[in-house]
């Protein structure tokens, strides 16, 4: 975390190019979180700008108790959630009280995402099916499978319990599998 500390110190000291380095380092993460939740490019651009404005204004509050990546990701996630709440867009299905919490390890027949993306047509079908998911499962699935972000990192960014993330991933994969097998990407 010494690189994080140095970058934060440079930004707080208003060293030339420091904030631009911070934005360059984390804009991909910010875009991914925000765009996967809101799906509208114009809104996502505005919300990413809001994220970095908030990061800039509140960087003095960063305590170095977690990687800067998680802190910036949490800010982006919070801003996107507020946007969805204002628009009254549901994040995704909530767990029913009688629903067992299933984890990826519980799957008996694991869907192979790499094989599904072997050709361009399959990749287009997969991405179209991903876009049909509710915002939260869509973001979690793409962070985990497409960005290779481990569940503990996703949990730190979203402040969701790991079991909840695993459950969302499991159910999202089931929906994707069903849609890809039936050819229904709606």
Among 62, 113, 101, 91, which Cα is nearest to 158's? Answer: 91
Per-residue pLDDT at 117 exceeds 90: no
How many whole angstroms from its chain centre is CA 159? Answer: 12
- Cα gap 96→14, rounded to integer Å: 49
Residue after which a domain boundary falls, among 87, 121, 152: 87
Element (DSSP H or E) covering residue 114? helix 113-116
Q: Looking at 12-16, 57-61, 99-103, 160-164, which range is the least confident one?
A: 99-103
Q: Rounded mean pLDDT of 88-95? A: 58
Six-digit token string for 174? 């089931």
CATH number at residue 161: 1.10.10.10
Do residues 43 and 111 both lie within one domain? Answer: no
pLDDT digits (tens, 9 = 90+) for 49-65: 999 999 999 999 998 88
Would you say 29 and 72 are in contact if contact means Cβ atoms under 8 Å apart? yes
Per-residue pLDDT at 91 exceeds 70: no
Do residues 49 and 108 both lie within one domain? Answer: no
Do residues 108 and 65 both lie within one domain? Answer: no
Would you say 142 and 153 are in contact if contact means Cβ atoms under 8 Å apart? no
Per-residue pLDDT at 7 exceeds 70: yes
Per-residue pLDDT at 114 exceeds 70: no
Do residues 125 and 71 both lie within one domain? Answer: no
Q: DSSP assignment of 6-31, as one string? A: HHHHHHHTT-TTHHHHHHHHHHHHHH
**Residue 99 within any structural domain of the chain:** no
pLDDT digits (tens, 9 = 90+) for 92-104: 644 333 333 333 3
Task: Print the domain residue range for 30.
Answer: 2-87
Q: Rounded mean pLDDT of 79-89? A: 87
Residues 6+ apart with CB under 8 A from 166: 101, 102, 103, 104, 151
The reply to whether the predicted model has a pTM over 0.75 is: no
């Amino acid at each position: 975390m010494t690189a994080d500390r140095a970058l934060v110190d440079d930004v707080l000291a208003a060293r030339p190019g420091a904030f631009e380095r911070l934005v360059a380092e984390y804009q991909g993460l910010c875009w991914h979180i925000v765009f996967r939740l809101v799906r509208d490019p114009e809104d996502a651009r505005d919300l990413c700008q809001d994220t970095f404005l908030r990061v800039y204004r509140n960087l003095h509050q960063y305590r170095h108790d977690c990687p800067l990546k998680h802190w910036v990701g949490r800010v982006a996630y919070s801003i996107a959630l507020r946007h969805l709440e204002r628009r009254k867009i549901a994040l995704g299905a909530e767990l029913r009280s009688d629903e067992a919490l299933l984890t990826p390890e519980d799957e008996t027949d694991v869907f192979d995402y790499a094989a599904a993306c072997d050709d361009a047509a399959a990749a287009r079908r997969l991405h179209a099916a991903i876009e049909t998911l509710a915002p939260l499962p869509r973001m979690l699935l793409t962070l985990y499978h497409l960005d290779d972000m481990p569940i503990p990192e996703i949990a730190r960014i979203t402040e969701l319990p790991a079991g909840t993330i695993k459950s969302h991933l499991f159910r999202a994969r089931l929906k994707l599998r069903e849609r890809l097998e039936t050819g229904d990407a709606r």
